[in-house]
Amino acid sequence: MPTIPLTRQKIAELVQGFEIIGFPQCMGAIDGCHIDIHPRRQDATDYHNYKGWYSTILLALVDARYRFVYINVGSPGRCNDSQIFESSTLKAQLEQCSLLHEMSRTILDVDVAVFIVGDSAFRFSKILIKPYAFQIMQNEREKSFNYSLSKVRRVVENAFGHLKARFRRIGKGIDNKVENTNAIIKACCVLHNFLNERNDNINEKWMSALQDIERNRQYPQQEMSVNDRQNSAEIIRNSLATFFSADVDGVGVAQPESEVGETPHS
């Protein structure tokens, strides 16, 4: 899954999925997942993440049904999600795709093109909308927007949780040779989508086992990106924030997503 087939039909399908859960113009949620590996001694420094263990990163864009629509595998654990995205084919595609602008929707007198959402680790832009920076005295409009975005972002967190629960080699860590890890991760992502399409249930015992593993492992926290405010992107985010706080067109704040491990209904 190196690229997304950015056709009008595909974009409309992705956007509709997030419209159903209350977030307009979103075509996917992006995030990175660290997967435990055992690198060669000469490569160990690159794969050493700042929580003290060795990992490779799976960066993924996920749709509203927890399916992987784009994956980027193989970046060493010392990298951060924003670095990987900035140099990815996904970003290049999104920037060059005129359909995203052609399929704009007017929200409170602002033309909002199709975009993806991410957390605070990413660089803020018109194609990637992220939360407002945390403030102790944050206004209700910004809090409402951050709440809505965080609930939508749960789809990518849940997708990673399902992937790790279904395939213990991903959840516990890959002990194969490093040169084989990318193929293993890609194969598991393809199988995950296959099972998801067929509404395969996630076994509760698998989730329990995964939670035991993750309780004993410290995951790296993403660094906050700074100085990335863009006027045009800020106008779009402000429009969306007002949209959620005002319940425009009868679409309210997105409802909480299911917890990791629960599969959404078709």
pLDDT, residue 250, reads 45
The mean pLDDT value for 146-153 works out to 93
Which pair of structure tokens corresponds to residue 164?
Answer: 């790790």
Measure Cα distances from 151 to 54, 113, 123, 254 in Å: 30, 21, 20, 7
In a domain, 253, yes or no: no
pLDDT, residue 228, reads 55
Nearest to 63 by CA among 101, 104, 20: 20
In a domain, 63, yes or no: yes
pLDDT, residue 199, reads 76
Specify the pairing of strand 110-112 against strand 55-62.
Answer: unpaired
In a domain, 250, yes or no: no
- Name the DSSP class of 114: -
In a domain, 155, yes or no: yes
In a domain, 243, yes or no: no
In a domain, 258, yes or no: no
pLDDT reading at 207 higher than 70: no
pLDDT, residue 229, reads 54
Total number of domains in the chain: 1
pLDDT, residue 223, reads 47
Q: How many CB atoms lie within 10 A of CB 256?
A: 11
Which pair of structure tokens corresponds to residue 57?
Answer: 């990163």
Give percent of the chain with pLDDT exceeding 90: 53
pLDDT reading at 206 higher than 60: no
pLDDT, residue 251, reads 44
pLDDT reading at 222 higher than 80: no
- Name the DSSP class of 200: P
Lowest mean pLDDT among 39-43, 83-87, 118-122: 39-43
Residue ranges making up the domain that contains 172:
8-218+226-235
132 Cβ contact partners less than 8 Å away, ≥ 6 residues apart:
138, 142, 145, 146, 237, 241
Lowest mean pLDDT among 83-92, 184-193, 229-238, 256-265: 256-265
Nearest to 129 by CA among 11, 22, 236: 236
pLDDT reading at 249 higher than 70: no
pLDDT, residue 124, reads 94
Q: Which amino acid is at 22?
A: G
Average of per-residue pLDDT values in the chain:
83
In a domain, 134, yes or no: yes
Kindly report, residue by residue over 100-148, the tens digit of the pLDDT. 999 999 998 899 999 999 999 999 999 999 999 888 888 899 999 999 9
Give me the DSSP letters along 47-65: HB-TTSSBEEEEEEEE-TT
In a domain, 206, yes or no: yes
Instruction: Tell me the pLDDT band of 264, cut-offs 50, 70 and 90.
Output: very low
pLDDT reading at 248 higher than 90: no
